[in-house]
Amino acid sequence: MSRLLIGVIITDCHIDFQEEILRGIISQSFKSNCDTAIIAPFHNFSFKTDHKENERRIFNLILSERFDGFLYDRSTFYDEEIKKYIDSLLTRSGKPVMLLDSSGHKNFETATIDDSDAFEKITDHLIEVHGHTRIFCLTGPKGVFVAEERLKGFKNSMRKHGLYYDRNCTRYGDFWKESPRELAAELINGITERPEAIVCGNDIMAVTLTEALIAGGIRVPEDIAVTGYDASMEGYRCVPSITSYSRPNFQLGAEAFRRLYRIITGKICNKVPNEFGQLRLGRSCGCTDDPKLRHDIVRKENINQRFESDLLYGDMLFDVTNVDDPKAFGERVDNYTFFLYKMSHIALCLTRKYIESPQNSFSDVLTFSPGDEMKMILSKSAVKREPMPEGYFSSNELLPVFSQERSYPVAYYISPLHYNNNFFGYCGISFGKEPMSFTSLYLKWINYVNVALEQVRIKAMMNKTIFDTNRVLLYDENTGLLNRNGLVREVAVSASVPVDCIRIQLTGLSKMYYQSGEEQCRRIGTAFARALRDCLHERELCGVWSMNTLCVITFTPDRSEELFLALSERVRESQFSGDDSCNIDFTVGQYTFPDLREPDLPDAVHKAAVNRVFSYSLSEHNANPQFEKLCLLRNKIMKNPEAPWNISEIADQLYLSKSYLQKIYKTYFGKSIIEEMIQFRIEKAKALLSGTDRTVTDISRECGYSSYNYFVRQFKSAEGLSPSEYRTSCKT
């Protein structure tokens, strides 16, 4: 039986708090013989930029069928919009989801740990060790589960010791910096009576409060003792260092995994040994630092700083950008994986869209969708390069390693590769048997990779542009057809049998130039060239001789009449195509080359102009102007069904009565204007439902419906399914 693959949705994995949770998850996953894929963006989306917003594309991996269930640390994402987006993807996946440390969610289960007991212990420390009796509590936002649990622990400790507290002693905050600054200002200005100590709901608030109090002339801990919670590095680096509590996050991660495993399999897995939280003493309460802890932290920071310095002042960025193709890029990056602390395996995977992007325009945006094709350009263990799969694989596989037969489970962090609004692919990194996360150095390393990938892409596109300079000299920039130089060159090298030169002159362009301007003429000419290209046979040459003249070189005798008839039909059909219309007067002339040894194309084109054989005139082919107007109207409704189409206004614009308009429209097309508008709206809704993740409410508005309920009724009447049922049917 294949292993379960558990997905973990979390961010800021380099922070100690999250790393402990992940260590518990991975340890329990290995104990249960399960694979783990941590979808790990680098930002919590609290601030919005194009670059940060583009990271959300990595969450499309949630829809992979490889996953059997998800652990979701929702509280690590700060923006409500991104939370709702991830929620919707997880719901669409149809897989079991276990939340970590979140209050009740209508769709997902939740695993929590007892914060109240731990917070009670840190309050006990202030009372029993330091003898404080008047203590304040600054917790997190009201209604947030962990904030309420920590407040509960504070109250339990105060009641247990028989100490008085009231609503002035407790305050809801933000788990961030604004609320401690406000409290500090009140204490400094005498608005609020000073307590002997303040217990904060996390280290960020404790650090901010301590710095603000000291800046205002209040000493910590001599005047007011301060404690934090979570035992973060920020708290330890503060002066004075923050007394805090190392929360049992390892236990939270392991317990959440066990609960999810039981939901998926119906079985109970063996537990890894629990790691309980403990008090971490600092100077902010009046205690002294733990010498061993100080030694371990200083050592870890020194190692990290040395490698960060080597990365900053080294040649990695210059070296990896000095290539112009993905394969060479992977070979260069291979030389710099030593920066990744305890890395066991790394895989760089790029989308087909990125790899083929040099063939496209600079303005094209590289997106990422479920099932996109990926190619691995680097597979590296801790010591050597490894063979990579040939060709492309689906992003639904996440990484090829998850489909391989193995005797052991694996855990990979999958993080996005992107630059501003262009998405390149993702990087998977594993630490082998070590249940750990990456450091902040990995973020800097990936940033170098992202910048380098963008530079490699630009360089490849620039090289292609230089390579295609000769092509630019031989092709018309508007139509993409050969220009005069290109035609002369091709005829000189390819003529080997008797050929005809067919000259097509757009006689109507001269008149249109004075009526509608140059832009309209260019649009008509480009559309006409597309129509002509569709009529060509294999091996026929076609090009632009001048602004209003096209030329066809054919090896088929007597081709002019056949080409004229086919082209006339195309032109007539185009008159109802709005902006793609090329319905214009044109003439056709023909000349046969007498001598192929020295084909004189300019002379042939001139003689073909003299030998005019066919003419197309609008006045001869536009016998029913009413029908044309209605076809154009129908085309506009088809392209913009969401517009507020009004029968009376349409009739006025066409100089017809309302009743006559409705009568002849139904006569020509078999349906009324309103019936066709509804049909086109439903077709647009179907395309949005099957091809996007947008909500049904948004789609109803996009399709011109002001009432959601009316949209649902009309959709169900037309399709026999509700919009939601139709979207579900498209996935099966």
Distances from the Cα of 584 to the Cα of 206, 341, 575, 619, angstroms: 77, 69, 9, 10
pLDDT given at position 566: 87
Q: For residue 472, is pLDDT > 60?
A: no
Question: Contact 274/49 with Cβ under 8 angstroms?
Answer: no
Tokens read off for 447: 């940033």
DSSP designation for 334: G
Q: What's residue 266's pLDDT? A: 93
> pLDDT over 90 for what percent of the chain?
43
Nearest-Å Rg of the Cα atoms of the chain is 35
Tell me which residue of 334, 383, 308 sits closest to 14, measured CA to CA: 308
pLDDT in tens, 285-297: 999 887 776 666 6
Between 640 and 378, the more confident residue is 378
Query: Quick one: pLDDT band at residue 511, thresholds 50, 70, 90?
Result: low
The backbone region for 444, taken as left when phi is positive above 0, alpha when psi lies in -120 to 50, beta otherwise, is alpha
Provide the mean pLDDT of the chain.
86
- List, for residues 553-578, the tens digit of each pLDDT value: 888 888 888 898 888 888 877 765 55
**For 146-160, 312-326, 572-586, 658-672, which range has the lowest pLDDT when averaged over its residues?**
572-586
- For residue 10, name the pLDDT band (cuts at 50, 70, 90): very high
CATH, range 472-621: 3.30.70.270
Q: Is the CATH number 3.40.50.2300 carried by domain 115-247?
A: yes
Confidence of residue 595 (pLDDT cuts 50, 70, 90): low
**Which of 3.30.70.100, 1.10.10.60, 1.10.357.10, 2.60.40.1120 would CATH assign to domain 626-731?**
1.10.10.60
How does residue 45 score in pLDDT terms, banded at 50, 70 and 90?
confident
Q: 160 is written with which tokens?
A: 């247990």
Half-sphere exposure of 595 (CA within 13 A, CB side): 4
pLDDT tens for 234-271 read: 888 889 999 999 888 899 999 999 999 999 999 999 99
The token pair at 91 is 């719901």
**Region of poorest pLDDT, from 405-409, 431-435, 572-576:** 572-576
Same fold, 1-111+251-268+331-467 and 115-247: yes
Task: Check residue 622 and give its pLDDT.
Answer: 46
Question: Residue 93's closest CA among 4, 7, 3?
Answer: 7
Q: In sequence order, what are the residues at sequence separation of 6 or more whose Cβ sits closer than 8 angstroms to the Cβ of residue 118? A: 153, 229, 245, 247, 248, 277
Structurally, at CATH architecture level, domain 1-111+251-268+331-467 sits in: 3-Layer(aba) Sandwich (3.40)
- For the entire predicted model, the pTM comes to 0.61
Q: For residues 200 and 228, give the distance between their C-alpha atoms in angstroms, rounded to a whole number.
A: 5
Omega prior to 248 cis, within 30 of 0: no
Is residue 395 predicted with pLDDT exceeding 90? yes
SS (HEC) of 51-111 = HHHHHHHHHHHHHCCCCCEEEECHHHCCCHHHHHHHHHHHHHHCCCEEEECCCCCCCCEEE
Q: What is the pLDDT of residue 621?
A: 43
pLDDT for 201 equals 94
Average pLDDT of span 382-393: 88
Instruction: Report the first-to-last Cα separation within the chain, whole angstroms.
Output: 24
Q: Residues 6 or more apart from 80 whose CB is under 8 A from it?
A: none
Mean pLDDT of 69-83: 90
Residue with the bigger pLDDT between 4 and 53: it is 4
Domain positions in the chain: 1-111+251-268+331-467, 115-247, 472-621, 626-731
Q: In which residue are the tokens 């309460």 written?
A: 285
Digit-coded pLDDT (tens) for 475-488: 787 787 888 888 88
- The predicted pLDDT at position 24 comes to 95
What average pLDDT does this structure show over 522-550? 86
pLDDT in tens, 296-338: 666 766 666 777 777 877 888 888 888 888 888 999 999 899 8
